[in-house]
Amino acid sequence: MLSTATVTAGSRPILKVECKMRRSVMVTAEKFPAFLPRDVERIKDTFALKLAARIERLPVQVSFTEDRIMSSCVTPLMGNKTSLPVVLLHGFDSSCLEWRYTYPLLEEAGLETWAFDILGWGFSDLGKLPPCDVASKREHFYKFWKSHIKRPVVLVGPSLGAAVAIDIAVNHPEVVESLVLMDASVYSEGTGNLATLPKAAAYAGVYILKSVPLRLYANFLSFNGISLETSWDWTKIGRLHCLYPWWEDAAVSFMTSGGYNVTSLIKQVTQKTLIIWGEDDQIISNRLAWRLHGELPNASVKQISNCGHLPHVEKPAAAAKLITEFVRETCRCKEVESIS
């Protein structure tokens, strides 16, 4: 039975999320991992606080650095060997906290759900800074999967996370059973001219990227009709990982590497794909959903009305329903194939 949970900021309700909740969503005194920036305690969003309390770091050994990378993620409360694991990526310069509203709904639906922080972003320990280019991000995810998940997954990528997902699906098809691409940023040519900036100019650019005014503006572009109070709290959530001392170095490493350019990889994707798009996306036109649909060999499109660039934040119930149905359909098809 559907109930309505309300996230509050101070005394004002800021977001209603339809969800199957067997437990209270109110946060009383969450105990946060010691490695999170202390500013996490200034966040009011109860869903963000609950998910932040579950973030952990798992060791990942990669080839491009001698030390294991303690890699941040949210792990499932329980496994589900009868279903495919779902792995949630995030967008550009973000973290697993993007999934604060949708993650609990996927768990309530019985899915084995992981939320993974892409190398260079999120809350991993990058004190001994590794390279944060595309190849390093890909290997880091692959080694994480090989060490901790070990089964084919449904890989979910929103915004730039869709480019990350396509890059992984093409280069490591054994990892990805199927894909969910949400408001996909897959037609940009990497970081463009930013890759040729002198280091001083690159650091000036990432300083602006972390700035509160820019983050606030991005929120107003991304979401429909949110209040200044809500946008301020979401800005604190969105830039929390930027408070680590290594964040600027990691951001410059990615920027100067050239970033993601996966346009040529799209037609190489063989996995079944669900494309989800917010009809009112002001960042990436929903017309590109149909272009992407035409270039992927096995894809379907679902649009969410009255929704902007990040459906899993703005319309979590709708996003969770579409993802859950797609995962179950993928599992059914896999069972039929194994029988035949």
229: which DSSP letter?
H
Range of lowest pLDDT (47-61, 185-199, 291-305): 185-199
How many whole angstroms separate alpha carbon 78 and alpha carbon 126? Answer: 28
Sheet holding 176-182, edge to edge: 56-60, 69-74, 113-116, 86-88, 153-158, 176-182, 272-278, 299-304
238-260 tens-digit pLDDT: 999 999 999 999 999 999 999 99
Query: What's the burial of 225, exposed, middle or buried (CB within 10 Å: 0-12/13-18/19+)?
Result: exposed
Query: Given this model, what pLDDT does residue 29 score?
Result: 58
- Confidence check: pLDDT of 220 > 80: yes
Kindly tell me the sign of the dihedral angle through the C-alpha atoms of 309, 310, 316, 318.
positive
Query: Given this model, what pLDDT does residue 83 score?
Result: 85
Mean pLDDT of 128-155: 97
Query: Given this model, what pLDDT does residue 58 score?
Result: 98
Is residue 233 annotated as part of the catalytic site, yes or no?
A: no
Q: How far apart are the first and last CA of the chain?
A: 36
7 falls within a domain: no
Could you tell me which residue, 216 or 90, shows the higher pLDDT? 90
Query: Given this model, what pLDDT does residue 82 score?
Result: 79
How many whole angstroms separate alpha carbon 35 and alpha carbon 178? Answer: 33
23 falls within a domain: no
Query: Given this model, what pLDDT does residue 163 score?
Result: 98
Query: Given this model, what pLDDT does residue 340 score?
Result: 56
Which residues make Cβ contacts (< 8 Å) with residue 337, sequence separation at least 6?
none
**Residue the block writes with tokens 């969105």:** 238
Mean pLDDT of 54-66: 97
Could you give the percent of the chain with pLDDT greater than 90?
75
Domain count, the chain: 1
For 184-315, where are the alpha helices, taking DSSP H only? 199-210, 212-222, 228-238, 247-257, 287-295, 311-314
Is residue 309 annotated as part of the catalytic site, yes or no?
A: yes
Query: Given this model, what pLDDT does residue 338 score?
Result: 62
Range of the domain at 191: 38-339
- Confidence check: pLDDT of 226 > 60: yes
Is residue 281 annotated as part of the catalytic site, yes or no?
A: yes
Query: Given this model, what pLDDT does residue 339 score?
Result: 64
Q: Chain-wide mean pLDDT for the chain? A: 89
Query: Given this model, what pLDDT does residue 30 score?
Result: 76
282 falls within a domain: yes
2-52 tens-digit pLDDT: 333 433 333 333 344 444 333 334 444 579 999 999 999 999 999 999 999
Predicted TM-score (pTM) of the model is 0.88
19 falls within a domain: no
83-116 tens-digit pLDDT: 899 999 999 999 999 999 999 999 999 999 999 9
223: which DSSP letter?
S
Query: Given this model, what pLDDT does residue 23 score?
Result: 39
Active-site annotation holder among 159, 178, 231, 257: 159
- Confidence check: pLDDT of 158 > 90: yes
Query: Given this model, what pLDDT does residue 13 score?
Result: 35
CATH number of 184's domain = 3.40.50.1820
17 falls within a domain: no
Query: Given this model, what pLDDT does residue 197 score?
Result: 85
11 falls within a domain: no
Query: Given this model, what pLDDT does residue 80 score?
Result: 82
Active-site annotation holder among 93, 133, 167, 281: 281
22 falls within a domain: no
Q: Which two tokens stand for residue 158?
A: 């929103």
Could you tell me which residue, 215 or 182, shows the higher pLDDT? 182
Q: How many CB atoms lie within 10 A of CB 260?
A: 25
6 falls within a domain: no
Amino acid symbol at 48: A
Q: Which two tokens stand for residue 60?
A: 């990942």
**Band (191; pLDDT cuts 50, 70, 90):** confident
Query: Given this model, what pLDDT does residue 81 score?
Result: 80
Mean pLDDT of 53-68: 97
Active-site annotation holder among 90, 140, 309, 312: 309
How many whole angstroms separate alpha carbon 109 and alpha carbon 325? Answer: 10
118: which DSSP letter?
P
- Confidence check: pLDDT of 78 > 80: yes
